[in-house]
Amino acid sequence: MASLDETDIEILRLLSHDARQTITDIAEEVDMSGPAVADRIDRLQDAGVINRFTVDIDRTQLKAGAQIFVQLDPGNSFDQLRARLDESDAVEHVMITAGGELWFNARVEVHNVNPWIRGVLEPAENAEYTVTLIDEIEWQPSIDGTDFALTCAECGNTVDSEGESEWIDDRMYHFCCSTCQRQFKDQLNQLKEGV
pLDDT digits 0-9 by tens, 67-79: 899 999 998 888 8
pLDDT at 46: 87
DSSP count for the chain of H helices, then E strands = 6, 6
pLDDT at 143: 63
What is the set of domains in the chain, with CATH numbers?
1-56 (1.10.10.10), 59-134 (3.30.70.920), 149-195 (2.30.170)
pLDDT tens-place string over residues 111-131: 888 888 888 888 777 788 999
| Band (103; pLDDT cuts 50, 70, 90) | very high
The percent of residues above 70 in pLDDT, for the chain, comes to 87
pTM over 0.85: no
Provide the pLDDT for residue 63: 58
Neighbouring CB atoms inside 10 A of 146's CB total 10
